[in-house]
Amino acid sequence: MRVRRCTHLLLEPRETVSFGLQALLRGSTEANSTHAWLALAGHLDGPVEIDAGQSELLGRTSASQWRTLSAQDMADPRWGQLLSSGLLVGDQPEHADHLARDQRIKDAHWWPLSAVAHRHSRWQGVDSVSDMRGQGLDTAVGLRRRLGAPPPAVHPVEGHYQPLPNVQESPFDALLAARTTCRNFDPERALPLPMLAQLLQRSVMAHAALQVEQDMLILKKNVPSGGGLHPTEVWLLVQRVEGLTPGLYHYHALDHALLALPSPPVPTLPSLARAMVSGQEWFADAPVLIVLAPRFGRSFWKYRNHAKAYRALTLDAGHISQMVYLAATEAGLGAFVTAAINEGDVDQAFGLDGVEQGALAICGVGYRALERSTAEFDPAGRSSR
Ligand SMILES: Cc1cc2nc3c(=O)[nH]c(=O)nc-3n(C[C@H](O)[C@H](O)[C@H](O)COP(=O)(O)O)c2cc1C
């Protein structure tokens, strides 16, 4: 049997500090501290705890050169343990899944730290709302109480600041001022299809294209994009859009068209929506959720194993989401963006592998409800309600 180390692997010396109940009852505040080595691989969903011996063996096993295991090697249980965890990959049929997953990361040219950070910051089945509520961190007052005062809202540098003129406001300023994250959608009102079409046209449609070679096309959109690659794909979960059957869709940025995808039964869409936004019910009932999912492979085609590439993808998503907000505001709609998403559930629903392409953020749009039951941040009272 031949083995090699997986492509992207980081070892973390993790310390867990706990206070024993017995010790606390005795009045002792001494903490128990335990130490473990955690192996974080780019192709595995969770960390793997290893011991010093396994870490030593990983350290001297190549990720690029296969090693044939001798009979003496086979007697050492560490090889089998590391193979079954996926930290080592092998050429036997039982290792095919780990090998294929590892190969996909390698082929997609992920920078190692980004591969690990992306993989291990993905959520599946997380309810961020109950987690935050449980810790009293779901309101500004609760945050202040639990965490103390934040760093100042504006960072003053010692010295003399030159005042800038306040320029006369234009309608563009009024539009910007009306942009407020919507957490109260009208649960009855459907979104007219032309409004969704206009929003996509303004935020993610390709307005022009340059055919560089027969097999290389560069798109022009209203938003900037790192490397000009526009790798962010748009996938939709439609709940209430006039003229569209509720379900999952892919948006084609060149054709400005929607493709209906195999979808879960309509009655289960609300629970999928809620899972996608990790339990944030104030977002889950938006008429349409817009998943922003970079095609990592397209970005990393240019930025191979590049330290800045993943960062550029997150910035791209930010530009798109701001355009979604502004387009929605101009149309009299509410909009939101959230990064607190269950990428695992989203990727699964849309058939994305999380390596070549995967969800990064979710936006949503729709008519605002007349009443605000969930807090929105509109201190100047200029939102479009
Ligand atoms: C990257 C990003 C992630 C966000 N994630 C959440 C979220 O998970 N839940 C939420 O209610 N709002 C989320 N928001 C909205 C912010 O809370 C909101 O922008 C902020 O409170 C300021 O309010 P405003 O957008 O109305 O000006 C997010 C915004 C951004 C830019």
CA of 131 to the centre of ligand 1 (A): 17
Same domain, 202 and 101: no
CA of 141 to the centre of ligand 1 (A): 17
Same domain, 183 and 258: yes
CA of 132 to the centre of ligand 1 (A): 15
Closest to 264 (Cα-Cα) out of 282, 284, 248:
248
Identify the domain boundary among 107, 134, 154.
Answer: 107
Same domain, 195 and 342: yes
Q: CATH code at 292?
A: 3.40.109.10
Same domain, 223 and 99: no
Give the pLDDT score at 357. Answer: 97
Q: Give pLDDT tens digits for 226-239.
A: 999 999 999 999 99
Q: Give pLDDT tens digits for 67-80.
A: 999 999 999 999 99
Same domain, 228 and 324: yes
Question: Which of 29-43, 291-305, 353-367 has the least mean pLDDT?
Answer: 29-43
Same domain, 273 and 344: yes
Same domain, 103 and 183: no
State if residue 284 touches ligand 1 by the CB under 6 angstroms criterion.
no
Q: Is residue 164 part of a domain?
A: no
Question: In ligand 1, which atom is closest to the CA atom of 321?
Answer: 31
CA of 264 to the centre of ligand 1 (A): 28
Same domain, 355 and 219: yes
CA of 182 to the centre of ligand 1 (A): 9
Average pLDDT, whole number, for the chain? 95
State if residue 384 touches ligand 1 by the CB under 6 angstroms criterion.
no
State if residue 128 touches ligand 1 by the CB under 6 angstroms criterion.
no
Identify the domain boundary among 71, 91, 107.
Answer: 107
Contacts by residues 101-105 (CB-CB < 8 Å, ≥ 24 positions apart): 101/43, 101/44, 101/355, 102/6, 102/7, 102/41, 102/42, 102/43, 104/43, 104/353, 104/355, 104/356, 105/7, 105/8, 105/42, 105/43, 105/355
Of the pLDDT bands very low, low, confident and very high (cuts 50, 70, 90), residue 384 is low
Identify the domain boundary among 107, 130, 153.
Answer: 107
DSSP secondary structure string for all residues of 314-360: HHHHHHHHHHHHHHHHHTT-EEEEES---HHHHHHHHT--SSSB---
Nearest alpha carbon, ligand 1 atom 9? 338
Token pair of 359 as six digits: 């969800």
Nearest alpha carbon, ligand 1 atom 17? 181
CA of 220 to the centre of ligand 1 (A): 27
Choice from 132, 338, 343 to test ligand 1 binding pocket (greatest atom count within 8 A of CB): 338
Give the pLDDT score at 185. Answer: 98
Q: Is residue 340 part of a domain?
A: yes
State if residue 338 touches ligand 1 by the CB under 6 angstroms criterion.
yes
CA of 174 to the centre of ligand 1 (A): 20
Same domain, 252 and 362: yes
CA of 94 to the centre of ligand 1 (A): 44
Q: Is residue 283 part of a domain?
A: yes
Give the pLDDT score at 308. Answer: 98
State the total domains in the chain.
2
Q: Is residue 127 part of a domain?
A: no
Same domain, 72 and 210: no
Q: Is residue 375 part of a domain?
A: no
Question: In ligand 1, which atom is closest to the CA atom of 128?
Answer: 8
Domain that holds residue 46: 2-107
Q: Is residue 273 part of a domain?
A: yes
State if residue 340 touches ligand 1 by the CB under 6 angstroms criterion.
yes
Rg over CA atoms, the chain: 25
* Spatial distance between the Cα atoms of 105 and 117, rounded to a whole number of angstroms: 13
Nearest alpha carbon, ligand 1 atom 7? 338
Q: Is residue 309 part of a domain?
A: yes
Same domain, 7 and 87: yes
Token pair of 17 as six digits: 């500090």
Q: Give pLDDT tens digits for 311-364.
A: 999 999 999 999 999 999 999 999 999 999 999 999 999 999 999 999 999 999
Q: Is residue 382 part of a domain?
A: no
Nearest alpha carbon, ligand 1 atom 4? 338
State if residue 329 touches ligand 1 by the CB under 6 angstroms criterion.
no
Same domain, 74 and 211: no
The answer to whether 72 touches 58, Cβ cutoff 8 Å, is: no
Nearest alpha carbon, ligand 1 atom 22? 377
pLDDT at 289 over 80: yes
- Of all residues in the chain, what percent carry a pLDDT higher than 90? 89
Nearest alpha carbon, ligand 1 atom 25? 181
State if residue 280 touches ligand 1 by the CB under 6 angstroms criterion.
yes
Of the pLDDT bands very low, low, confident and very high (cuts 50, 70, 90), residue 138 is confident
State if residue 225 touches ligand 1 by the CB under 6 angstroms criterion.
no
The answer to whether 42 touches 114, Cβ cutoff 8 Å, is: no
